[in-house]
C-alpha cells in the first residue's frame, strides 16, 4: 500500500483521477496546501468574484479558472479540476442532487472553478509551534458557527459569516494570531477572541456544523472566518447548478503550506 | 486659500466635485491612500478581475464597484467615482479621445470601476523611514520601464509587466523591502533589485514612461511592479470604451496609508 501521506501532490491527484482513492484528504500529501472548490456558471462568476474580493477573510481565493478550462494553472498546472478531487457534490437550485467521484459528465463550457484556501494549512503550522488543535486531538470535525457578522454584499451574493472555533490557552493566543496573520491566503488572523455571544453564538457547545470540542480551563474560544461561508452564500442564490467538493475531500495543490505564508 | 494638504478625503472630494480643483493630487489629503482608476464595461469585467487576481503585484485592487454603481463602498462610502477625481481620460478602441473633469455624460449602467493601489502610499512610509525617494527630491515623475516579464494571462488580457524604479543605497535596500512587503495593497515588495538587463531594460537612463532620475554612487536600482500595467494591458484589448484617471490625478480614498499595511 502506497503511503499517501508522503505522496507528491501530482502523484496523489493521479491516484484520485484513476478512482483508486475516494476518501477524505486530511493529512495526505503532507506539507502541501489543500483547497475548497466552488464551481459556478460564468453568468454568476463576476458577482462571486466581487463577493470574494470584498470578503477576503472567509473567501481567500487561491485560483480561479478561465471559463470552460478545467486546469487550475496558478496552483496545480496539469491538474484537472473535473476528476482530481476524491468526491464532489452537485447542487441544483440549492438542493443536493448527487455525490460523485468525477464531474466529467456535468462539465460545461461556461463553468468557472474557484479554489479557496483551507485552514488545514495553518493548523499544520500550529502543530509545529506547539499550539494545540483540539478537534485533531479529539478526532472530530472543527466546530463551525453561523455568526451575526454580515458579509459585504455583491450582487446576488449576501449572508452571514461562518466561523470555525479552536480553543487555545491564553498564553498561546498571541502566537496563534501571529502565525495566522502571516497566512492571509488561508483566512488570516482571527475575527474574534473570547466572547461568542458578541458575534451571535448562543451556545459554544452546539456548533451549526462540525462537532463540539472540549474547552479546557485557561483556554478561550478563538474564531476564524471559515471557507464554508462562500459555499453557504452561493447556495442561498439557488444557482441552476453549483458543484463543490464533498466535505473533507479537498483539492490538493502544488503549493507548499509555507509558500502561502507569503502568497499575497 | 484652503490647505488641501490638510483636508480630509471627503472635503477634498467635495472641492473636486464642485470643479474647484482640477490639478494633480500628490501630497493632498496627506496620510490617506490615493488610487488609480480603470473603468470598463461589464462585458470585460470578469476577465479583468481574473487578470488582477492572477497579477496581484502590478494590480493590487482596493475596490471594485457593482455594475452601474458609482459609489466605491469599501474605500470611500458616499463618494462618486464619476465626479470625484480632478481629471479623467476617455479611451475609445484604445485611442485617447477626450480629457474631462467629470464623466457624468459618459456613465453607463454596465460600467464597473476598479480602484488600484498607488505607490504614493509606500513612498510616504519611505520618507518617514529616511529612505530617499529620488524622483520626489528631483521634482520629477517616477521612471517606469516595460520589462520582459510577462503577466499571467486572463481571457483577452495579456502583456508585459511595467515597473517603477527607485535608486536606493545598498544599506537601505533591506529596509525598503521590509516596508513594502507590509504594503501588499500597493504593489508589495520589489520584483527585482540591481540588474535592469535581466528584466529586459536596456538603458536605465531612458525610461518608457516618466523621467530619468540620478542614480548615485553606492545606490542600486530597485524595481516595483507598477499600476500602469493594468491600464496598459486593458488598452491592448482596445475596448469600445475605457475610462481612467489622468496621470497624477488620482482618486482620494478614506483609507489611511497605515491601514493598507494590513489591508489583506
Q: Indicate the pTM of the whole model.
A: 0.81
| CB–CB contact A45 B42 (8 Å) | no
**In terms of CATH architecture, what is B9-118+236-260?**
3-Layer(aba) Sandwich (3.40)
Sole residue written with cell 487561491: A62
Chain centroid, CA A144 distance in Å: 12
- Quick: pLDDT tens for B161-189: 999 999 999 989 989 998 998 888 889 89
State how far the Cα of A107 lies from the Cα of A220, in Å rounded to an integer: 45
State how far the Cα of A117 lies from the Cα of A137, in Å rounded to an integer: 22
| CB–CB contact A188 B73 (8 Å) | no
Structure confidence at residue B185 (pLDDT) = 83
Query: How far off is chain A from B20, nearest CA to CA, in Å?
Result: 33
Identify the contact set of chain A against chain B, taking CB-CB distances under 8 A: 42, 45-46, 49-50, 53-54, 56, 61, 64, 66, 73-74, 152, 154-155, 184, 188, 264
Q: Which residues of chain B have pLDDT under 50?
A: 263-264
Chain A residue with the nearest C-alpha to that of B155: A66
State how far the Cα of A175 lies from the Cα of A131, in Å rounded to an integer: 8
Name the grid cell of A197: 455571544
SS3 letters across chain B? CCCCCCCCHHHHHHHHHCCCCCCCCCCCCCCEEEEEEEEEEHHHHHHHHHHHHHCCCCCCEEEECCCCCCCCCCCCCCCCCCCCCCCEEEEECCEEEEEECCCCCCCCCCEEEEEEECCHHHHHHHHHCCCCCHHHHCCCCCCEEEEEEECCCECCECCEEEEEEEEEEHHHHHHHHHHHHHCHHHCCCCCEECCHHHHCCCCCCCCCECCCCCCCCCEEEEEEECCHHHHHHHHHCCCCCEEEECCCCCEEEEEEHHHHCCCC
- Angle A228-236/A42-54 helices, nearest 10 degrees? 130
Would you write out chain A's pLDDT as a tens digit for each of its 264 residues?
689 999 999 999 999 999 999 998 988 999 999 999 999 999 999 999 999 999 999 999 999 999 999 999 999 999 999 999 999 999 999 899 999 999 999 999 999 999 999 888 899 899 999 999 999 999 888 999 999 999 999 999 999 999 999 999 998 999 999 899 888 888 989 999 999 999 999 999 999 988 999 999 999 999 999 988 988 898 888 999 999 999 889 999 999 988 888 643
- Quick: pLDDT tens for B196-238: 999 999 999 999 988 999 999 999 999 999 988 988 898 888 9
Structure confidence at residue B1 (pLDDT) = 67
Structure confidence at residue A264 (pLDDT) = 39
Residue A60 φ then ψ, to 5° = -80, 95
Determine contact, residues A244/A231, Cβ cutoff 8 Å.
Answer: yes
Q: Does domain A120-229 have CATH number 3.30.2040.10?
A: yes
- Angle B228-236/B42-54 helices, nearest 10 degrees? 130
Determine contact, residues A168/A243, Cβ cutoff 8 Å.
Answer: no
**What are the sequence ranges of the domains in chain A?**
120-229
Structure confidence at residue A263 (pLDDT) = 44
Helix (H) or strand (E) run with residue A245 in it? strand A242-245
| CB–CB contact B184 A61 (8 Å) | no
| CB–CB contact B74 A45 (8 Å) | no
State the ipTM, two decimals.
Answer: 0.70
Residue B84 φ then ψ, to 5° = -100, 5
Amino acid at each position: 500500500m502506497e503511503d499517501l501521506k508522503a505522496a507528491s501532490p501530482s502523484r496523489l491527484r493521479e491516484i484520485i483521477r484513476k478512482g483508486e482513492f475516494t476518501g477524505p484528504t486530511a493529512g495526505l500529501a503532507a506539507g502541501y496546501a489543500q483547497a475548497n472548490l466552488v464551481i459556478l456558471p460564468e453568468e454568476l462568476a463576476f458577482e462571486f468574484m466581487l463577493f470574494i474580493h470584498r470578503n477576503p477573510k472567509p473567501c481567500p481565493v487561491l485560483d480561479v479558472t478561465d471559463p470552460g478550462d478545467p486546469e487550475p494553472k496558478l496552483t496545480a498546472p496539469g491538474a484537472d479540476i473535473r476528476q482530481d478531487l476524491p468526491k464532489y457534490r452537485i447542487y441544483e437550485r440549492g438542493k443536493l442532487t448527487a455525490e460523485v467521484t468525477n464531474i466529467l459528465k456535468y462539465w460545461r463550457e461556461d463553468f468557472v472553478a474557484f479554489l479557496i484556501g483551507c485552514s488545514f494549512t495553518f493548523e499544520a503550522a500550529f502543530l509545529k509551534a506547539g499550539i494545540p488543535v483540539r478537534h485533531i486531538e479529539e478526532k472530530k470535525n472543527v466546530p463551525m458557527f453561523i455568526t451575526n457578522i454580515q458579509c459585504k454584499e455583491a450582487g446576488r451574493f449576501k449572508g452571514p459569516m461562518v466561523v470555525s472555533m479552536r480553543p487555545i490557552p491564553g498564553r498561546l493566543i498571541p502566537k496563534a494570531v501571529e502565525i495566522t496573520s502571516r497566512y492571509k491566503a488561508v483566512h488570516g488572523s482571527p475575527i474574534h477572541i473570547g466572547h461568542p455571544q458578541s458575534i451571535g453564538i448562543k451556545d459554544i457547545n452546539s456548533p451549526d456544523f462540525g462537532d463540539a470540542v472540549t474547552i479546557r480551563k485557561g483556554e478561550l474560544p478563538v474564531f476564524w472566518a471559515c471557507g464554508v461561508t462562500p459555499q453557504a452564500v452561493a447556495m442561498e442564490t439557488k444557482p441552476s447548478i453549483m458543484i463543490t467538493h464533498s466535505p473533507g475531500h479537498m483539492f490538493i495543490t502544488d503549493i507548499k503550506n509555507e509558500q502561502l505564508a507569503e502568497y499575497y
